[in-house]
């Protein structure tokens, strides 16, 4: 018998379609989404739905979540999860606290094909794509953990696809997961609360423009010239920076939307005053935020972290160009949870 499909692979309209196809009332879709996503129950729903619907769901879908293999809690309350998937592969997700709420950083692939030179995940190569249920499962698994361990803080308000993988390289599953996150009948997370971070994978950007334009975009920029960017993000050779930036400039942003440009600051590589000025020139006048992320060395990495003074100076220069800039505190440093340093190996 083939394995049952995960319920968490169904968007709201998929579920309605399946119920209809099987001669069941489509109104049950709202009840099921409410039960599983609004109330976040992980056991099958037996309230207010017909017996036929209960048996159809029980016969066709499973509700298994990725297993929590390990949890690391950092002093600043960041929580890093290593989830084990049904085939034994592992991915990481990170809960990042702000006040009594959280952002969650999700993985979209096991490993990654982009091979960025500063990235722990990139050293592993792409093992496989996650499906939507494995993305949703990271969220629900982390939420369950919060419910048990920090019951007063069970609120995940923002979602960022910045964990393992290039999300736009696994577009279908990421899009389906976004549809489930934003469904009014379920979690009802505002589309503007979701951010997808990309290395500049243009085929995915093309689909983003047509299929999920309301989702926020973050570009891993990290360098202002192709020579350094080629070293850091090899896909830049195929999709050079100017092409990516031109493409992003043409994206239809809503009034409140900005593009976030992530800039990994690496000592003696891209952290000079001249680099800051080039970056300012490149982005001035655009609907841009800049996140400066001081590099967080990991065992075996070739790069070094710049001093705090250097990062502050870099930010000060960008201020002259009137671009809102943040230095991202690498929350979870002590559990190696900062971006691009996720590790599925034990």
Residue written as tokens 């490993």?
111
Least distance to ligand SF4 from the beta carbon of 91, Å? 11
- Taking CB under 6 A as the criterion, the residue among 115, 128, 207, 328 binding ligand SF4 is 115
Reported residue count of the chain is: 346
Scanning 1-9, 115-123, 268-276, 282-290 for contacts with ligand SF4 by CB under 6 A, the matching segment is: 115-123
Question: Looking at beta carbons only, is 122 or 306 nearer to ligand SF4?
Answer: 122
- Tokens at 80, concatenated: 């890093």
Q: For residue 151, what are the CA distances in angstroms to 68, 74, 95, 100, 344?
A: 18, 18, 14, 11, 28
345, with CB counted inside 10 A (0-12, 13-18, 19+), is exposed
Count the residues of the shown chain that bind ligand SF4, applying the rule CB under 6 A: 12
Q: Assign residue 111 a region: left if phi > 0, alpha if psi is -120 to 50, beta otherwise?
A: left
**Which residue in the set 24, 28, 29, 116 belongs to the binding site for ligand SF4 (CB under 6 A)?**
116
Q: What angle do CA 303, 309, 314 make, to 5 degrees?
A: 75
Q: How far apart are CA 14 and CA 170, in angstroms?
A: 19
Query: Can you tell me which of 114, 323, 335, 337 binds ligand SF4, judged by CB under 6 A?
Result: 114
Nearest approach, Cβ of residue 56 and ligand SF4 (Å): 39
- Please select the residue that binds ligand SF4; options are 133, 164, 216, 296, rule is CB under 6 A: 164
281-284's contacts with Cβ under 8 Å and 24+ in sequence apart are 281/321, 282/224, 282/245, 283/321, 283/323, 284/321, 284/322, 284/323
* Residue 6 vs 121, nearer CB to ligand SF4: 121
In angstroms, the CA 146 to CA 288 distance is 33
Transcribe 115-130 into DSSP letters. Answer: --TT-TGGGG-EEEEP
Q: Which stretch binds ligand SF4 (CB under 6 A): 113-121, 188-196, 236-244, 301-309?
A: 113-121
Give the pair of three-digit tokens for residue 35.
């039960």
| Span of 42-50, 129-137, 161-169, 244-252 interacting with ligand SF4 by CB under 6 A | 161-169
Among residues 78, 103, 170, 199, the one that binds ligand SF4 under rule CB under 6 A = 199
Enumerate the active-site residues: 92, 339
Residue 204 in contact with ligand SF4, rule: CB under 6 A: no
Contact code string over 64-103 relative to ligand SF4, x by CB under 6 A: ----------------------------------------
Among 166, 179, 262, 271, indicate the residue that binds ligand SF4 (CB under 6 A).
166
Terminal Cα distance for the chain, rounded? 33
Q: Does 141 bind ligand SF4 (CB under 6 A)?
A: no
- The distance of closest approach from Cβ of residue 342 to ligand SF4 in the complex, given in angstroms and rounded to an integer, is 7
Residues of the shown chain interacting with ligand SF4 in the complex, contacts defined by CB under 6 A: 112, 114-116, 119, 121-122, 164-166, 199, 340
């Amino acid at each position: 018998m083939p394995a049952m499909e995960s319920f968490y692979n169904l968007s709201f309209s998929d579920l309605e379609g399946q119920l209809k196809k099987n001669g069941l009332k489509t109104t049950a879709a709202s009840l099921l989404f409410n039960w599983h996503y609004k109330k976040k129950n992980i056991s099958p729903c037996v309230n207010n739905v017909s017996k036929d619907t209960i048996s159809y769901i029980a016969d066709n879908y499973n509700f298994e979540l990725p297993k929590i293999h390990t949890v690391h809690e950092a002093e600043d309350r960041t929580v890093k999860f290593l989830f084990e998937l049904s085939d034994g592969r592992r991915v990481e997700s990170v809960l990042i606290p702000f006040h009594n709420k959280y952002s969650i950083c999700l993985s979209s692939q096991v490993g990654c094909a982009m091979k960025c030179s500063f990235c722990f995940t990139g050293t592993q190569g792409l093992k496989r794509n996650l499906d939507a249920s494995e993305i949703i499962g990271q969220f629900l698994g982390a939420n369950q953990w919060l419910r048990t361990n920090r019951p007063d803080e069970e609120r995940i308000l923002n979602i960022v696809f910045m964990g393992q993988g290039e999300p736009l390289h696994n577009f279908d599953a990421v899009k389906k997961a976004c549809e489930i996150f934003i469904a009014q009948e379920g979690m009802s997370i505002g589309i503007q609360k979701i951010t997808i971070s990309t290395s500049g994978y243009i085929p995915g950007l093309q689909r983003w423009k047509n299929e999920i334009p309301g989702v926020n975009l973050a570009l891993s920029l990290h360098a202002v010239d192709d020579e350094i960017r080629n070293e850091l993000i090899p896909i830049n050779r195929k999709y050079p920076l100017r092409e990516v930036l031109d493409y992003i400039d043409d994206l239809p942003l809503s009034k409140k939307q900005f593009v976030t440009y992530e800039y990994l600051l690496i000592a003696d590589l891209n952290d000079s005053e001249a680099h800051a000025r080039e970056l300012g020139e490149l982005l001035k006048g655009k609907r841009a935020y800049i996140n400066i992320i001081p590099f967080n060395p990991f065992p075996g990495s070739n790069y070094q972290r710049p001093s705090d003074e250097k990062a502050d100076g870099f930010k000060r220069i960008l201020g002259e160009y009137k671009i809102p800039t943040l230095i991202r505190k690498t929350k979870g440093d002590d559990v190696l949870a900062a971006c691009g340093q996720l590790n599925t190996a034990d």
